[in-house]
Structure 1
Amino acid sequence: MQAPAHTIGLRLPPPSSSARRRARPRPAVRAAAAATQAAPRRETDPRKRVVITGMGLVSVFGNDVGAFYDRLLQGESGVGPIDRFDAGSFPTRFAAQIRGFSSEGYIDGKNDRRLDDCLRYCIVSGKKALENAGLAKGSDAHAMLDKVRAGVLVGTGMGGLTVFSDGVQNLIEKGYRKISPFFIPYAITNMGSALLAMDVGFMGPNYSISTACATSNYCFYAAANHIRRGEADIIIAGGTEAAIIPIGLGGFVACRALSQRNDDPTTASRPWDKQRDGFVMGEGAGVLVMESLEHAMKRDAPIIAEYLGGAVNCDAYHMTDPRSDGLGVSSCITKSLEDAGVAPEEVNYINAHATSTLAGDLAESMIGHCLGAAGGLEAIATVEAITTGWVHPTINQFNPEPEVEFDTVANEKKQHEVNVG
């Protein structure tokens, strides 16, 4: 779906920081691409510089960040036949469906049975990100946080779709008395952020942004601005989605947005390929722990990368198709670079939102299009490219469009020093 555009800049941890990095092997980075012009001014105030200190996810490849990226590097596909419900009557019968998900150790059993998967994914990924940041619930570091200055901004494109669908079905079949009292709370889009904040005690900025595929990136942008304005020290930000149910699948089928390559679902998502015929639905959650450099250094945090800047705008053109002249995207990129203080020549990696649709057109070729969670998972993949020095492939590129003249990292991973992405 065509949502307001957004781009972000991430780079290696600031060398001046005394904070330790996450222990992942990577080749030494020598220098960024040489700029042909002076770069715009970059933020230097440690109170306004925003760093990433933790990452958490739920994906078709599991809930571990390292394992997730390793499987991306191997070019594995997480796409397969839908077995969560009978999809036999649908023209599309496959998706990147999460199987075997467990929230054990993160959500108590009673609540786990009540919650929509959209909420479960949010809570688990958020708490795992805090663990990665050295702020696990119950730890001394977590107890020492100023909770009033800690927030949660996890968005979703569609919210608790299963809860909503079940509520409507109960109303039609059994009447209003059979509607669950949790119907409204668990269906609305802000409940993921709310429940996560209640769980970990964060009392700062808390809301959910819903801008379709751009949801996670909007949340990163908003979180960074709260920190820069001094309104928060630390924020959990990202996106969550769980829409692989009959009404979700049927809705995208009605939009004619999905691939119908049922005979070979693992090759259905084909970004920039002449034979692409639509995107593949995915699901999951991806979140970052973002905090001011000053706050991270005070607690000796494991700094992974730095958020340099971003921008938001709108094509103001069509509900689903992008502008043919690319004006919305190009102007957003320009504004993002200005906000980040980065010259175009410094950017040496782009993780594209290429979904294998005819009009729209990296990771989505393997994990499906995760809708509101897409930007969160893509951001984690970008940070992993920075920290490991390896770029994951875009699989299923068999017959590339001739207009695509840049390196799409087709089908095979590539070793590449990424400084700014």
Structure 2
Amino acid sequence: MAVGLCDFPNIPEIKGVKIGVAEAGIKKPNKKDLVIFELCEGAAVAGVFTQNAFCAAPVRLCQKHLASSSPRYLLINTGNANAGTGKLGVENALLTCQVLAEQAGVDVDAILPFSTGVIGEPLPTDKIVAAIPAAFLSLSGDSWRAAGTGIMTTDTLPKGSVRSFEYEGRAYTVAGISKGAGMIRPNMATMLGYVFSDIAMDTSLLQKMLKEVVGKSFNRITIDGDTSTNDSCIAVATGKAGNEVVTDVASPLAQAFLTAFTEVMQELAHAIVRDGEGATKFVTVEVQGANLVSDATKVAFEVAHSPLVKTALFASDPNWGRILAVVGRAGVEGLDVDKVQLHINGFEIVRDGCRSPDYLEKHGQEAMAPEEIHIVINLGAGDVSDTVWTTDLSRDYVTINADYRT
């Protein structure tokens, strides 16, 4: 059940980008599960990838191609992660790239492959190869919703975001799609995320911005604490807006783009949390009053990962002592528990390390009842803060993952 997830937005055509979608039947029949993005020549492409040591074959091949060429196509399949598949996995990923390269008339290293789905099973290359021509022939500029649907696995809804802005009389668009609902605790980006703009930007600057914005979006979400083998996030700047190439991050145009880019990335990241497997709550964990950003981040993630906290959130049970226990074990050096404050949805729960004198049980029940919950923890040690977004832990999460391969 998606928590407050809005309908897929109306994303306009972005010059320099075309999208093709097809049914390969990789895991299920009659499902859009193969997506191609065609990029114009000269587009700037940046990427960040999973830090999982068991990273999937397409991730390794994608990194290699991105470092050695000017990418022209993104090739994405769902239903099979092609992870834990050894040398055969790399060969299979390369084969699909070769087929698309021949179809498009480009070098093989101009293809960036991506896969998501079940880990440990060989990639069904015959199905993908057979579907590539149909996806290629369907290339158009307005298939955003179909692409959002085509990269879904256990997602219940497609996820998209778009922002437009003007600078010196010229219009710019930033838009993207993402997928992910489980195995979410990124260590770079999300399961899969793709953001495109018509701005002209230097590739190294785009890479720098992507890494920065990932730290404010995809790297601040968690559903179950598991970092995927296939996490990949790609940013593309086609240059078709007609501006001079942006090279200075401090320039007004770069800052205007950065604002829109951040909003799109955060919305895509939040959409993943809102569509978390079995989720009934969208939870913001904000830690204030830390001495170090690392302390704030650590406490926020510890609270967001705690099964006891997450099950209390699911039950709307104001068992706030579980939160205090997590704060105490998070490993913040020199923590003075007598200065810790806790608010949930505006209600003061804990003051100076213990139950607030103004707190009543009915306040806690009222605070925990909504489907959107904002937890604010103040450590009383400094002026640094950080925020993480997460979900509750429901019975459905267990069912979905227990039955994932059946």
TM-score range, shorter chain: under 0.3
Report the structure, 1 or 2, having the larger strand content. Answer: 2
* Greater relative contact order, per chain length (Cα 8 Å cut-off, separation 6+): 1
Q: Based on CA coordinates, which of the two structures has the bigger radius of gyration?
A: 2
User: Could you tell me the TM-score, scaled by structure 2's length?
Assistant: 0.25
